[in-house]
Structure 1
Amino acid sequence: MARWGITLPLTGVPLQAHRELVKELPDLGYTDAWSAETAGTDAFTPLALAAEWAPDLRLGTAITPVYTRGPGLLAMSAATIAELAPGRFALGIGTSSPTIVSDWNAVPFEEPFKRTRDTLRFLRSALAGEKVTAEYDTFSVAKFRLERPPAAPPEILLAALRPGMLRLAAREADGAITNWLAATDVPQVRSELGTGGELVGRVFVCPTEDADAARGLGRLLISSYLTVGAYAAFHDWLGRGERLRPMHELWAAGDRKGANAAIPDDVVDELIVHGSPARCREKVQAYADNGMDTPVIAVLPTGEDPAALVRALAPGA
């Protein structure tokens, strides 16, 4: 059976209010809890709490941007969670997006492939406890050594959407993290990563039988994400370019409402899992059946209690 993850924290739920649910997750059948980092909580604090609340869960960041912390600070943050959760922490790193990196964090978004590769190489050395002095293509480090290197260095996974980054993940990382894909897309992604690395993927799940409501929310998310350059190129590669072209054209013209309306129902249904909780579980399992090692559910709001939805979507439900 594949691993089965959940994205924490849940939308609209205060961080401290997660304690009882997180304690339940292993008994519900969840094996993993993965954080994210956009404009809410940082990626590491929720995992520090989860390490205490549920010592059996594997924890992961999906993802931590490689630009918004210096290399040394990123290594220290990762080492801290690795100490709290020895042998059960995976560090997911990636480029994030120009909006998050440049507009919100005032860091130039330059040479993303090289910056990710260089950060990966630095972290391999630093988290192994080595003293690092190195000139990378995108930054340099002089005489950095962790004061508290983890006894069990975490696995490092790369956020990867297209062949170049997937192949880098296959060569130098422990796996890849992907996002915004259909279950039927998994074999194409897996073929580039190969069979040796773990494939983690966030799966957006809206557990409601109100298809119109689920599609309405799905359209808002799809137009927000898939108009970003990296995601647009990803879906061109996956073969959705023509079906998404009207959305891109209307978005570029400033017609946000028209762009949303132009997304076909079948595209929404491919990328957003919706239906009854039982039907949603079947659809999430399809990702695993198609080659994803760790599907990670991101619960979308339905108006119901988010914790109850997590329980209803659990593999043991």
Structure 2
Amino acid sequence: MTVPFAGVPLADHGRLYALLHDAGFTDLWTSEVAGTDAFTPLTIGAITTPKMRLGTAVAPVFTRGPGLLAMTAASLAETAPGRFVLGIGASSPVVVGDWNAVPFTEPFKRSRDMLRFLRPALAGETVDQEFDTFAVRRFRLERPPATPPPILLAALRPAMLRLAAAEADGTILNWLAATDVPKVVKTLGDTPAGFEIAARIFMCPTDDADHARAVGRRMITSYLTVPAYAEFHRWLGNSDLLDPVWSAWQAGDRRGALAAVPDELVDALVIHGTPHQCKEQIMRYVEAGVTTPVMAPLPTPELTAGGVEALYTLIGELSAPSSVEKG
């Protein structure tokens, strides 16, 4: 499950995490954009749940220095021994440059360099090396974790996917349909045993299709107009569906871009329906090769009206076996 939940104070998340655990959810995964940081909600999970895995998806490689990112990851790995997964990624020019005043340059090299720094650093080794995008002089963690966390690399296109397959313990996918997963898996090529393929799956659990598509259109115009995601969808073969959206967006016509998003694309990228229908659609990602499907619930009329109690109900409904699993 993607956490934290919107509209619920962080201080109240311990009860929600316990409920997720009791309902059979295995993992808590965070993101880092402009809400909470990626690590604090997981620290709450480390303390309040004894078994759940905790993952960042993702911690940007630009917004923390190498040493600070290693220290932060090591601290959470020490707090939840053997249960923490460090997901890193390039993020975007807006998050990195506009909001954090860091130049967003050479994202592939920065991601590769951070991955190559973190591996020995989290193992407790001294790192004294000049990388292409930064240099580190005799850094060594004072508290290296007894169990270094696996490192997953967020990837969209072939070069980053191949880097993940070659040097990371897994990859993190985002904004793709279940039918896109085989192309990604093929591009990864041969991967070592235990290689993890995590995917964040946006889910609007309501049978009000008009509402779900309205939410989906807003998200698609916000995300898929970002250059990295636009290139990703060109690579996936979605140019015909998205060209009118991109053209309107570039012309400054935000309403036109919103209206140009076809239902076909929304339904593929933002699953919706009853909780059981959503779960069956999530299982298609698993059947296609995703090993860790990460649900990301979006606002619905039911959740808005029902508040936290409606969220409790949703968690229970999502934990019940779907017809696919029963079959």
Give the TM-score category using the shorter length: over 0.9
1:31 Cα deviation from its structure 2 partner? 0.9
Secondary structure at 1:93 match in 2: strand
Q: Secondary structure at the match of 1:119?
A: helix
1:176 and 2:171 are equivalent in the alignment: yes
Choose the corresponding residue for 1:39, options 12, 24, 34. 34
Structure 2, unaligned runs of 5 or more? 304-309, 323-327
Query: Does 2:125 correspond to 1:127?
Result: no
**What is residue 78 of structure 2 aligned with on the other side?**
83
1:29: which partner in 2?
A: 24
Contact conserved, 1:299 with 1:310, CA < 8 A, in 2?
no
Deviations 1:188-227 (A, max 9, x none): 1111223432100000000000000000000000000000
Partners of 1:301 and 1:161 in 2: CA distance? 26
- 1:218 matched residue in structure 2: 216
- Displacement of 1:313 in angstroms is 1.9
1:3 aligned partner: none
CA distance in 1, matches of 2:72, 2:278: 34
Pairwise CA distance, 1:26: 2.4
- Give the share of equivalent positions with the same residue, in percent: 61
Distance in 1 (alpha carbons) for counterparts of 2:6 and 2:220: 17
> 1 CA distance for matches of 2:274 and 2:11?
29
Cα distance, 1:49 vs structure 2? 0.6
TM-score, length of structure 1 as denominator length: 0.96
Q: Which letter does structure 2 place at the counterpart of 1:118?
A: D
> What does 1:184-223 align with in structure 2 at a 5 Å threshold?
184-194=179-189, 195-196=191-192, 197-223=195-221
2:109 matched to which residue of 1? 114
Kindly state the Cα deviation for residue 47 of structure 1 after the two structures are TM-superposed: 0.5
Cross-structure match for 2:144 = 149
* Counterpart-to-counterpart distance in 1, 2:60 and 2:105: 13
Question: Which residues of 2 match residues 283-298 of structure 1 at below 5 A?
Answer: 283-298=281-296
Does the C-alpha gap of structure 1 residues 109 and 315 become closer, same or farther in structure 2, counting only changes over 3 Å? farther
What is the TM-score with the length of structure 2 in the denominator? 0.93
- How far, CA to CA, are the matches of 2:48 and 2:312 in structure 1? 16
Native 8 Å contact 2:207 2:272 kept in 1: yes
8 Å Cα contact 1:11-1:306 kept in structure 2: no
Secondary structure of residue in 2 paired with 1:306: helix
Q: Distance in 2 between matches of 1:192 and 1:224?
A: 27
Q: Over aligned residue pairs, what C-alpha RMSD do you find?
A: 1.1
Structure 1 stretches of at least 4 aligned residues deviating more than 4 Å after TM superposition: none
User: Which AA in structure 2 matches 1:309?
Assistant: L
The corresponding residue for 2:315 is 310
Q: Secondary structure at the match of 2:248?
A: helix
Q: Which runs of 5+ in 1 are unaligned?
A: 1-5
2:202–2:270 Cα contact (<8 Å) kept? yes
> Given residue 310 of structure 1, which amino acid in structure 2 is its aligned partner?
I
Q: Contact 1:94–1:116 at 8 Å: present in 2 too?
A: yes
Q: Please name the residue that 2:234 is paired with.
A: 236
**Structure 1: distance between partners of 2:176 and 2:9:** 29
Deviations 1:82-139 (A, max 9, x none): 0111111110000000000000000000000000000000000100000111000000
Letter in 2 for 1:265: D
Q: Answer yes or no: is 1:254 the counterpart of 2:268.
A: no
Q: Which amino acid aligns with 2:316?
A: R
Matches within 5 A, 1:83-102: 83-102=78-97
Q: CA deviation at 1:316?
A: 4.9
Does the 8 Å CA contact 1:8/1:33 hold for their aligned counterparts? yes
CA gap of 1:274–1:173, structure 2 versus 1, over 3 A, is same
